[in-house]
């Protein structure tokens, strides 16, 4: 059940540092609580409230599914990338959105969404929970960078970014040209991955606290060698 609580808190945008501030304790205390040490019933109730869940829901989640996986199998990734609507539905579930968002935000017909959820369940990628809810069996922070996802991005996402109008004041971007050693490139890779996780945390917090309407944004952080461009 504690694993389910940790997932629910992450989905709601609560880091250990934020929880410590909210509950007026040290981060070490929060870490102990989230692993069951010294966690009283009253504190557990407060954590459930912050995660927007209940003890009953946590119990069901813990009973119906094991801890989320750290990675997809190659077969799962290939299945997801063969159908862009299937991958969209899984993306929404993975990031804690209700499956209705597939219709409201991406205009996928409800009956098609239902078929995709059934397909995801057969692929052992999601579990159905009480109340019609669906939960992913993969951790949201997992990075998809193997060949199937790279091919999927090349076909479906690359055109979105190559068509960006950088003159549009609504376009948010930053750019830098740097000279890096292999060690610097490795550090850059780590920072880009950390940036991706930060964006997910911003979305989770915004979803929990924002009062204004929200719209979907595509965000890309990418680096490439300039050697092919400047070679004489």
Instruction: Residue 157: name the closest of 57, 230, 84, 80 by CA.
Output: 84
What pTM was estimated for this model as a whole?
Answer: 0.64
Return the pLDDT at 120: 93
Nearest to 89 by CA among 66, 53, 118: 118
More confident residue, 139 or 134: 134
Query: What does 62-106 look like in DSSP terms, one character per residue?
Result: HHH--SPBSS--HHHHHHHHT-HHHHHHHHHHHTT--TTHHHHHH
Q: What is the pLDDT of residue 70?
A: 65
* List of residues 6+ apart from 90 with CB closer than 8 A: 80, 116, 120, 125, 126, 136
Residue 123 in tokens: 């692929």
230 vs 45 pLDDT, higher one: 45
DSSP structural state of residue 135:
E
Q: What are the E-state strand segments in the chain?
A: 126-128, 134-136
pLDDT (tens digit, 9 = 90+) per residue, 1-10? 777 788 778 7
Tell me what pLDDT residue 63 has.
Answer: 54
Tell me the pLDDT tens digit for each residue of 65-107.
555 566 788 888 899 989 989 999 999 998 888 889 999 999 9
User: What domains, with CATH codes, occur in the chain?
Assistant: 2-64 (1.10.260), 74-136 (1.10.10), 164-230 (no CATH)
pLDDT at residue 12, as a whole number: 75
pLDDT at 40 over 80: yes
Average the pLDDT over 199-224 and give the result: 87
Tell which wins on pLDDT, 61 or 216.
216
Structure tokens of 7? 């997932």
Which of 49, 42, 44 lies closest to 2 in space, CA to CA? 44
193: left (phi over 0), alpha (psi -120 to 50) or beta: alpha
* In the chain, % of residues over pLDDT 90: 35
Q: Which residue has the higher pLDDT, 58 or 31?
A: 31
Mean pLDDT of 123-152: 80
The pLDDT of residue 61 is 59
Q: Which pLDDT band holds residue 137 (cuts at 50, 70, 90)?
A: confident
- Over residues 159-184, the mean pLDDT reads 92
Greatest alpha-carbon pair distance for the chain in Å reads 69
The tokens describing 64, both together, are: 């119906």
For the ranges 20-24, 79-83, 112-116, 162-166, the maximum mean pLDDT occurs at: 112-116
């Amino acid at each position: 059940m504690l694993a389910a609580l940790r997932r629910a808190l992450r989905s709601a945008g609560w880091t250990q540092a934020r929880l410590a501030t909210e509950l007026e304790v040290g981060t070490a205390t929060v870490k102990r609580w989230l692993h069951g040490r010294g966690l009283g019933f009253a504190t557990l109730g407060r954590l459930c409230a912050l995660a927007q869940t209940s003890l009953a829901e946590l119990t069901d989640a813990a009973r119906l599914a094991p801890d989320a996986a750290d990675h997809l199998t190659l077969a799962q990734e290939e299945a997801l990338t063969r159908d862009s609507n299937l991958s969209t539905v899984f993306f929404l579930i993975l990031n804690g959105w209700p499956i209705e968002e597939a219709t409201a935000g991406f205009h996928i017909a409800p009956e098609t969404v239902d078929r995709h959820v059934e397909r995801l369940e057969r692929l052992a990628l999601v579990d159905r929970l009480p109340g019609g809810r669906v939960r992913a069996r993969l951790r949201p922070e997992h990075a998809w960078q193997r060949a199937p996802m790279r091919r999927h991005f090349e076909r479906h996402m690359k055109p979105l970014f190559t068509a960006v109008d950088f003159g549009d004041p609504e376009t948010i971007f930053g750019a830098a040209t740097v000279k890096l050693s292999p060690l610097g490139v490795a550090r850059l890779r780590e920072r880009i991955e950390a940036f991706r996780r930060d964006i997910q945390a911003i979305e989770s917090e915004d979803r929990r606290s924002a009062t204004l309407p929200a719209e979907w944004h595509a965000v890309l952080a990418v680096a490439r060698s300039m050697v092919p461009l400047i070679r004489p």
